[in-house]
Structure 1
Amino acid sequence: MNTKVSVIEDLHLDKKYIHEAAEIIKSGGVVAFPTETVYGLGADALNEEAVKKIFIAKGRPQDNPLIIHVCDKDVSLLVNDIPTVARKMMENFWPGPLTIILNKKDIIPSVTSAGLCTIGIRMPANDIALKLIELSGKPIAAPSANISGRPSPTDIERCVQDLNGKVDYILGGEKSNVGVESTIVDCTIDPPCILRPGGITLEMLREIDDKIYIDPAIMTTPSENLKPKAPGMKYRHYAPKAKVTIVEGNLQKTIEKINEIVQNYIEKDLRVGIIATEETKELYKAGEIISLGSRKELYAVAKNLFETLRAFDDLNVDVILSESFEEEGVGIAIMNRLRKAAGFDIIKV
């Protein structure tokens, strides 16, 4: 397949590229495009054959549901009922990195929802994404624009690495400014439940409903029998080529343990990557060290996480050791992604 790649530097001057991409969506094709969370791989959510192309391009399991992206807060054509709490979330956080799970209408094909009677919907906070949806005249089903299981792309270069020759069009814009996928909240139950943490935090959502909670299963190894209600609940995700191990616990002990493990790996002629922070990067004695940013700025850490995992692929490391982060605010999303990237391989100190 011949993939066209276009980069939008000015939304008004380069709008023709969005028109081209929208025509591909209309005709049943597949387009990678930027959002504020990560880059997405989109197709007409109501076209069964088009949606199947997403799964083929990504190598994505068919039982992993997709998220539908819209450009308007009125989603009544797609879902059967919208609880008051869901409406409040839309008013407060749309457009933005929040996906709301609702009961779907039959207009949404089974392949889009992975056979579920529910569907996740969000309105992205990205001008290119919103214009693409508007011009296509279609709700767009879109997981992240990467090969399934790999770290999600936050810029066009990583999309091209993974999907060139596998999709019809790659539409580039600025680097994603959130850096982890959207928060997913199940509003088909009361109280609502967070099925995937993201940039909209538990604390923020509890301003809407103080009973909202996080599904405890999302931070543990998923069951083989799990039927995922939201993307990323069942399968290993966000994984670089190298094996990832997280060291959790007291920060000083974490640094000591990582230094100890690094030496053991070096003695075995293994190339080691270390995920560090601005506060700790000078304390490691060997290895390829990349700082995610300051521990005082967890949103910056989240923004840099996936690109850092991919950067270690560029460095051809054999193993990656990562510090852990405080599980509050967006730190919950960071640790959720790290644990999945590591396949829940964790050393406690």
Structure 2
Amino acid sequence: MTVQPDSTHATDAAIEHAAALLDAGELVAFPTETVYGLGADASNPDAVARIYAAKGRPANHPVIVHLPPGGDPQYWAAEWPEAAQKLVDAFWPGPLTLIVKRHPRIPDAVSGGQDSVGLRCPSHPVAQKLLAAFSRLRGGHGGVAAPSANRFGHVSPTTAQHVRDEFGSAVHVLDGGASDVGIESTILDLSRGFPALLRPGHVTPHDIARVLGEAPRLPDGSDATAPRASGTLKAHYAPRTPLALLPFEALEPMLTAARANGESVALVARTSRSGTWASAPDVHFIAAPEDPQLYARELYGLLRALDRANVARILIEKLPETIEWIAVNDRLGRAAAAFEAQQD
């Protein structure tokens, strides 16, 4: 996948400085084509621990190791399946994370104590320059552990300003413009002898099947042996404003009740479904994109904007349950689950 985001913000000098900070064990937030990551030297357990502390992230929740173009994923892997190389050839650099068996030299910290590790090579030019500069400082084997640059469970950042909103001046930020994909990478597990989708993303199950000649197992809650992976907790990606995700027919009675009670609500729905609610004067209506990839690109920025919109509740139309919408449905479902848990 080739993206052309606005990368003029980060100069070569700024990138070299950020690489030096990583080499010194500091945290650096940087852009990728998916979302902004909160990076640290993946080979330094103390540096990785700073990620967990800054995010408030559970210590057993693994992070993904980001590699530069031309980096050697087999340095990080105890086993390198043929399927992994096929997928690397097809999708790297790009928004696909592969879970493989972790090499013994790699610290437990990046994997939450598991025997596997998640690897990816981002396509954003600023990320690539940063990862290449850091790898040079590490003799060609540098990797940057980087979950999304936000407080744990909150909406992921897709701009440098989103990161600053989360951490202020506590984290050094490389600005590379807005992320082009807008949601986190697809995560595919190859550590158990078969392909299994752990987190849907821009690279779809159909894309994977075309390369491997077999469809990956889809997440259905029954895969008890699956490794833990980033962004797969039931409640995640949530705004601070209460959010409900329901079919449009179920939202309409809620909208009617909110109007009767004088409650300010936001409605996020496709224009083709919203009817007269799109022009209701007391409803903060957001026209959701009809295209799944555009919806994904705008999703996190939209949720962050609605947190600032002074509404009591966000009501979102549930989307079609098709492969094309699987990634957006995954993120919206986990965001809504954060508030369902509070109600239980």
Q: Which residue of 2 is the match for residue 68 of structure 1? A: 65
List structure 1 segments (4+ residues) > 6 angstroms apart after TM superposition.
none
- Per-residue deviation, residues 156-182 of structure 1 (Å, max 9, x unmatched): 111110011332x11111211111100
Q: 2:216 aligns with which of 212, 215, 227?
A: 212
Q: What is the distance in 1 between the residues matched to 2:317 and 2:325?
A: 12
Q: 1:288 aligns with which of 279, 284, 289?
A: 284
**C-alpha spacing 1:315/1:10, structure 2 compared with 1 (3 Å):** closer
Q: Is the 8 A contact 2:206 2:215 kept in 1?
A: no
**Structure 1 residue 9, shift from structure 2 partner:** 1.6
**Structure 1 residue 238, shift from structure 2 partner:** 0.8
**Structure 1 residue 200, shift from structure 2 partner:** 0.2
Q: What is the distance in 2 between the residues matched to 1:330 and 1:30?
A: 35
TM normalised by structure 1 equals: 0.87
Q: Which residue of 1 is the match for residue 139 of structure 2? A: none
Give the match's secondary structure for 1:245.
strand
Q: Which residue of 1 is the match for residue 116 of structure 2? A: 118
Q: What is the distance in 2 between the residues matched to 1:298 and 1:235?
A: 22
Q: Which residue of 2 is the match for residue 51 of structure 1? A: 48
Structure 2 spans left out of the alignment, 5+ residues: 1-5, 136-141
Q: Which residue of 1 is the match for residue 152 of structure 2? A: 148
Q: What is the distance in 1 between the residues matched to 2:333 and 2:234?
A: 12
Give the match's secondary structure for 2:272.
coil
**C-alpha spacing 1:140/1:164, structure 2 compared with 1 (3 Å):** same
Q: What is the distance in 1 between the residues matched to 2:19 and 2:7?
A: 14
Q: Is the 8 A contact 2:99 2:191 kept in 1?
A: yes
**Structure 1 residue 186, shift from structure 2 partner:** 0.3
Q: What is the distance in 1 between the residues matched to 2:9 and 2:152?
A: 31
Q: CA RMSD in A?
A: 2.2
Q: What is the distance in 2 between the residues matched to 1:49 and 1:330?
A: 40
Q: What is the distance in 2 between the residues matched to 1:164 and 1:10?
A: 18
Give the match's secondary structure for 1:121.
strand
**C-alpha spacing 1:211/1:190, structure 2 compared with 1 (3 Å):** farther
**Structure 1 residue 277, shift from structure 2 partner:** 2.1
Q: Is the 8 A contact 1:35 1:126 kept in 2?
A: yes
Letter aligned with residue 159 of structure 1 = V
How is 1:98-247 mapped onto 2 (pairs within 5 angstroms)?
A: 98-137=96-135, 138-167=142-171, 169-209=172-212, 210-217=214-221, 229-234=228-233, 236-247=235-246
Give the match's secondary structure for 2:180.
coil
Q: Is the 8 A contact 1:102 1:187 kept in 2?
A: yes
**C-alpha spacing 1:235/1:260, structure 2 compared with 1 (3 Å):** closer
Q: 2:256 aligns with which of 243, 253, 263?
A: 263
Q: Is the 8 A contact 1:191 1:211 kept in 2?
A: no
Q: Is the 8 A contact 1:64 1:228 kept in 2?
A: no
Q: Is the 8 A contact 2:98 2:188 kept in 1?
A: yes
Q: Which residue of 1 is the match for residue 267 of structure 2? A: 274
**Structure 1 residue 264, shift from structure 2 partner:** 1.0
% identical aligned pairs: 34
**Structure 1 residue 51, shift from structure 2 partner:** 0.5
Q: What is the distance in 2 between the residues matched to 1:190 and 1:316?
A: 49
Q: What is the distance in 2 between the residues matched to 1:52 and 1:330?
A: 36
- Point out the structure with the larger helix share: 2
- Per-residue deviation, residues 274-332 of structure 1 (Å, max 9, x unmatched): 11224345631341111231x2x210011111111111101022211111222334410
Deviates more, 1:183-192 or 1:41-50: 183-192
Q: What is the distance in 1 between the residues matched to 2:263 and 2:110?
A: 42
- Per-residue deviation, residues 40-83 of structure 1 (Å, max 9, x unmatched): 11000010000011111111111110000001352111111111
Structure 1 spans left out of the alignment, 5+ residues: 1-6, 249-253
How is 1:79-94 mapped onto 2 (pairs within 5 angstroms)?
A: 79-94=77-92
Tell me how many residue pairs correspond in the alignment.
Answer: 324
Q: What is the distance in 2 between the residues matched to 1:121 and 1:330?
A: 24
Q: Which residue of 1 is the match for residue 308 of structure 2? A: 314
- Per-residue deviation, residues 225-253 of structure 1 (Å, max 9, x unmatched): x99621122252110111111113xxxxx
Give the match's secondary structure for 2:126.
helix
Q: What is the distance in 2 between the residues matched to 1:264 and 1:247?
A: 15
Q: What is the distance in 1 between the residues matched to 2:79 and 2:256?
A: 57
Q: Is the 8 A contact 2:9 2:175 kept in 1?
A: no
TM normalised by structure 2 equals: 0.89
Letter aligned with residue 145 of structure 1 = A
Q: Is the 8 A contact 1:73 1:90 kept in 2?
A: no
